[in-house]
Amino acid sequence: MTKLNIVENAARMVAPGKGILAADESTGTIKNRLDSIDVPSTEDNRRGYRQLLFTAPGAGDYFSGVILFDETLRQSSTDGVPFSKLLWDNGILPGIKVDAGAKDLAGSPGEKVTEGLDGLRERLAEYVELGAAFTKWRAVIEIGGNMPSRACLEANAHALARYAALSQEAGLVPIVEPEVLMDGDHDMERCREVTEATLQLTFQELFNQNVLLEGMVLKPNMVVAGKQCSRQNSVQEVAEMTVKVLRRQVPGAVPGIAFLSGGQSEEEATAHLNAMNMPDAMGGPLPWELSFSYGRALQASALQAWRGQADNVPAAQAALAHRAKMNSLARSGDYQSGMEQDAA
């Protein structure tokens, strides 16, 4: 394993043509994924599924990093190779989800704040020993009624910044993930308003906590209408509004932005990323790399192809490789929807 400093690692995480595979589903979430294909959520099945993702041919060509769950970082392949070493050996940085999940925010009914700061310094030291190069912490911002409140935005921004500072202290690159959820019937304009406020407060807190912007990666939502909104915007509208918000709120010192998919379909997430990486359509060059850090939008087809059967591993890996290649092309604005049919 080669240890690099956080500025070098952050740049490596958003390297052109590559993105980050989010495979950090909690025990409950991975159970839901496996339930959907009628596969029991045993430790062996979870390990087997993650192994097929990490060992897919060409994974190192498309993935700069993989976000792991605590259990996965401690696991090894069937050949006895720790997953962290397997990833390092393939030129992929291993990362680790370190938050303890979103909990009810006292005094703000219906709102959440992410917990996990207690004992984090000690956990980070252990994760370094286990081979991690970066971390991830997700804040959850919901739109609806009088939400989000200022208290919710400030509490989550403060937690994100404290987490980021502790990660950098440990020599780990923090992925800062303030997610404005797609759930609800709000329109794109409301999502823009909340996303701007969220990013503004987050970067103010990062500044207050002395976080080195060159040594972090931002993982935000795209600016989209809620799932239940009667008007869903075009790919170009989403791309233009998202880039407008980022130009206003994200300092140019941040090396890259790795979008979450947030419930978008595989092809939607790819198309939106592609549109944002077309400089002529976005008003010229952008100061940061625009990349991807997708979970379901990379894994959905692979999961369905696998269905828990060893004989299906090659087909599942081929499905993952296809999605990874499509998003790699989207990193330079070279993706076209027809490529999906060509591969079918």
Q: What is the pLDDT of residues 84-125, one digit of tens each?
A: 999 999 999 999 999 999 999 999 999 999 999 999 999 999
| Beta-bridge partner residues of 256 | 289
DSSP secondary structure letter of residue 144: B
Is residue 37 exposed (0-12), middle (13-18) or buried (19+ Cβ within 10 Å)? middle
Report in angstroms the alpha-carbon separations of 49 from 194, 263, 302: 36, 21, 10
pLDDT for res 343: 60
Residue 342's pLDDT is 65
Which residues, 6 or more positions from 217, have their beta carbon under 8 angstroms from its beta carbon? 10, 13, 14, 134, 173, 174, 175, 176, 254, 255, 256, 257, 258, 293
Give strand pairing partners of 138.
177
Task: For the chain, list the domains and their CATH numbers.
Answer: 6-343 (3.20.20.70)
**Phi, psi dihedrals of residue 294, rounded to the nearest 5°:** -100, 150
**What is the reported pLDDT for 282?**
86
Closest C-alpha among 239, 251, 337 to residue 280: 239
Residue 339 C-beta-side C-alpha neighbours within 13 Å: 17
Considering the candidates 25, 177, 240, 266, report the single residue annotated as catalytic.
177
Question: In a 3-state reduction of DSSP, which class is residue 76?
Answer: strand
Collapsing DSSP states into helix, strand and coil, what is residue 26?
coil
Per annotation, catalytic residue among 219, 240, 266, 289: 219
151: Cα separation from own chain's centroid: 25
What pLDDT does 344 receive?
Answer: 52
Q: Which two tokens stand for residue 149?
A: 């409140």
Does residue 219 carry a catalytic annotation? yes
Active-site annotation holds for 112: no
Q: How far apart are CA 213 and CA 216, in angstroms?
A: 6
Burial 245-268 (b: 16+ CB within 10 A, else e): bbeebbeeebbbbbbbbbebebeb
> How far is the C-alpha of 257 from the C-alpha of 293, rounded, in Å?
9
235 contacts 275 by C-beta, under 8 angstroms:
yes
pLDDT tens series, the chain, 344 aa: 445 699 999 999 999 999 999 999 999 999 999 999 999 999 999 999 999 999 999 999 999 999 999 999 999 999 999 999 999 999 999 999 999 999 999 999 999 999 999 999 999 999 999 999 999 999 999 999 899 999 999 999 999 999 999 999 999 999 999 999 999 999 999 999 999 999 999 999 999 999 999 999 999 999 999 999 999 999 999 999 999 999 999 999 999 999 999 989 999 999 999 999 998 888 889 999 999 999 999 999 999 999 999 999 999 999 999 999 999 999 999 999 889 976 65
Report the Cα–Cα distance between both ends of the chain, in Å, rounded: 38
Q: Is the pTM of this model over 0.85?
A: yes
Name 191's Cβ contacts closer than 8 Å, sequence gap at least 6. Answer: 143, 180, 221, 223, 224, 225, 226
* In the block, residue with structure tokens 């999502």: 191
